[in-house]
Amino acid sequence: MESVLEIKDLTKIYRSLDFWKNDRTVGIESINLTVNKGEVFGLLGLNGAGKTTLMKVILGLLKPTSGSVTMLGGSNDDIAVRARIGYLSELPYFPKYLKVHEVLDYFAEVLGIPGKIKDIRINEVLETVKLGKKSKIQVKNLSKGMQGRLGLAQAIINDPDLLFLDEPMSGLDPLGYKETRDIILDLNKRGKTIFFNSHILSEVEKICTRVAVLSGGRLVDTQAVENIMAKYGSMENYFIEKAPAGVK
Amino acid sequence: MMRRIMAVAGYIFKQSFRNRILNVLIIFAVFAIGFSLAISELAQEAEAKMVVDFGMFSINIFAFLTLVLSMAVQLFEETELKTISMIMVKPIRRYEYMIGKYLGIIATVLMNIVLMLAVLMVIIAFRGGDPWDLRLLLAALYSFMGVSILASTALLLSMIATTVPGCVIYLIFVYALGHLTIHLKNLAALTGNYIVKAVVDVIYYVVPNMELFNLKDKIYSAAGLFTPGYLGLVSLYSVLYIIITLTITSILFKKKEF
């Protein structure tokens, strides 16, 4: 199987901002993980387990203390690699006086999407996230859930091969869960790989092909969802057993 | 590369241009310039001078306030609301983002200065003066240049300060010090103390010298500083200062974590 993400011995230690920098907190520790092409990979963990830290180190937003990340065959510093990925942060925020179309136009420009197809692509993603009729509306007039969908739209505007979603269901209503789930599954059907963090175990169960559990910054288990269901009966049972394992 | 830089600049400009606080500031600025019409009544036989003096003073102050507010809005959204992480994972180099941000901020300041200058020119014409006086236009241009230097310094300070208020306070401090360095240097020379002189020399060369851009006081001066040589040197100083500060800022920004 072709791997799209390889993480080797990844460690991130935060140093405090005080003058002597004596205080250290382990964000993640010695993580080894491979994500294969076409997978929907779920990262589970309690609050403070290191899920967002891991995602940020993978994306280059945080510098690793040690270890390496290879994605789509290159480094996260490589512009060509970054043109092929998408990222949605938890509870995304956009400038409130800009219109929905202008926000996406900005991301499309930075991604270098040619002018001729830019507007077509923007309209396509707006339809995908069900914001087609809101294109001329200022962000301040969008609900929290709609802002989440706008965040998803900017993440998929370049039709990425590898999509990172940090708590994509955060702030959504049950209908929003279903719509986001449908988008993720549709992208996956088209051969895209998805890596996401979530607390919502029922959604993880429905979407993921494989999951990993982080606890206390350490990776305590990785399993195919099929195996989990056969052995534990539900994602919740599996999570309850595995999640506290690494807590010191 | 230019497309990405211009995309960031356009985004920052639109964001600032539509910000309500900045809109209110622009309205205040226009009123302040308009006030020069009323205040000029107090100066008989020197109405035009009074209009120019008060108008240029307002342009300087409000251009600086526009910079402070634009920076505060940007920093708040980037750091507190974490808007920056989604753009930093896109195929854009960090120095490209920084240059785009700089251009967006100074475009906002420029727009404000042009608007204020237009109002001032109308008032000067109303008072019977020459609104197209080259010295007036140069004074406004160099006022913009001074704020451009401060903008690059503000971006550098934003790399050092950990909070938005911290950055704003540093910027106000640099602005005040920038107008005083020449006087500090003269005072230090008078003391004869080598340590004081050395410290003041460091401050003099590190802090942007804002007095160089203060042409407004020379508009009516017979010995004015409007020689091409002086203007050329000040332009060169500002270009070099901006390049150096933006280069240091980009190096620090490359190491920054989000």
Find tokens 């969802």 and name the residue.
Answer: A225
Q: Is residue B206 part of a domain?
A: no
Q: What is the pLDDT of residue B226?
A: 73
Interface probe with B: pick from A65, A87, A110, most Cβ of B within 10 Å: A110
pLDDT surpasses 90 at A97:
no
What is the domain extent for residue B218?
2-179+214-255
Q: What's the confidence (pLDDT) of residue A248?
A: 47
pLDDT score at B196: 85
Mean pLDDT (chain A, rounded): 88
A88 touches chain B (CB under 8 A): yes
Q: Is the confidence at residue A246, as pLDDT, over 60? A: no
User: Which residues from B are below 8 Å from A88, CB to CB?
Assistant: 86
Structure tokens that stand for B58 in this block = 């307002």
* pLDDT less than 50: residues of chain B: none
- pLDDT of res. A19: 63
**pLDDT at position B224, please?**
58
- What is the phi/psi pair of residue A199, to 5°? -100, -15
The answer to whether the CB atoms of B89 and A60 lie below 8 A apart is yes
Residue B10 domain-assigned (yes or no): yes
- Give percent of chain A with pLDDT exceeding 70: 96
Q: Closest chain A residue to B21 measured between Cα atoms?
A: A97
User: A109 and B7: CB-CB below 8 Å?
Assistant: yes
**Residue B236 forms part of a structural domain:** yes
Rounded-to-integer distance, Cα A196 and Cα A53, Å: 13
The band of A18, judged by pLDDT with boundaries at 50, 70 and 90, is low
Considering the domain boundaries, does residue B243 fall inside one? yes
B88: nearest CB among A61, A83, A154:
A61
Instruction: Kindly report the number of other CB atoms within 10 A of residue B152's CB atom.
Output: 24
Q: Write the ipTM.
A: 0.87
Interface test with A, best of B86, B88, B160 (most A CBs within 10 A): B86
For residue B79, the distance in angstroms to the closest alpha carbon of chain A comes to 11
pLDDT for A245: 59
pTM metric for this prediction: 0.89
b/e sequence A39-58, b meaning 16+ C-beta within 10 Å: bbbbbbbbeebbbbbbbbbb
Strand intervals (E) in chain A: 3-15, 24-36, 40-45, 66-71, 85-88, 162-166, 193-197, 210-215, 218-224
Q: Which residue has the higher pLDDT, B17 or A138?
A: A138
Q: Contact A79/B91, CB-based, under 8 Å?
A: yes
With contacts defined as CB-CB under 8 Å, which chain B residues touch A92? 83, 86
Question: Taking Cα atoms as reference points, which of B159, B151, B183 lies closest to residue B70?
Answer: B151
pLDDT at B29: 84
CA-based nearest distance A20→chain B, Å = 16
- Tell whether A92 lies on the interface with B, counting CB pairs under 8 A: yes
Contact status of A107 with chain B (Cβ, < 8 Å): yes
Nearest to B86 among A62, A87, A109 (CB): A87
Instruction: Give the pLDDT band of residue A170 (cuts 50, 70, 90).
Output: confident
| Size of chain A, expressed as the number of residues it contains | 248
Inter-chain residue contact B89 with A88, CB threshold 8 Å: no
Instruction: Render pLDDT for A139-166 as a digit per residue (tens, 0 to 9).
Output: 999 888 888 889 999 999 999 999 999 9
| Chain A interface test: which of B5, B8, B11 (most A C-beta within 10 Å) | B11
A94 and B10 in contact by Cβ < 8 A? no
Residue B13 lies in a domain: yes
* Number of structural domains found in chain B: 1
For residues A125 and A156, is the Cβ–Cβ distance under 8 A?
yes
| A89: chain B residues, CB-CB within 8 Å | 82, 85-86
Q: Is the CB of residue A59 less than 8 Å away from at least one CB of chain B?
A: yes
Q: From A76, A142, A70, A63, select the one nearest A103 (Cα to Cα).
A: A142
| Contact criterion met (CB < 8 Å) for A98 and B14 | yes
Residue numbers in B near A107 (CB within 8 A): 86-87, 90
Q: What per-residue confidence (pLDDT) applies to A175?
A: 83
Cα gap A45→A240, rounded to integer Å: 10
Q: Which pLDDT belongs to residue A20?
A: 65
Whether B205 maps to a domain, the answer reads: no
- Judged by CB atoms closer than 8 Å, whether chains meet at B90 and A111 is answered as yes
Q: Is A60 on the interface with B (CB under 8 A)?
A: yes
Amino acid at B29: A
For chain B, the residue count is 258
- Does B209 reside within a domain? no
Is residue B224 in a domain?
yes
pLDDT at A54: 94
List the beta strands (DSSP E) in B3-76. Answer: none
Kindly list the residues from chain A whose CB atom is less than 8 angstroms away from the CB atom of residue B91. 79-80, 82-83, 110-112
pLDDT on residue B182: 82
Close Cβ partners of B121 (under 8 Å, ≥ 6 residues apart): B131, B132, B136
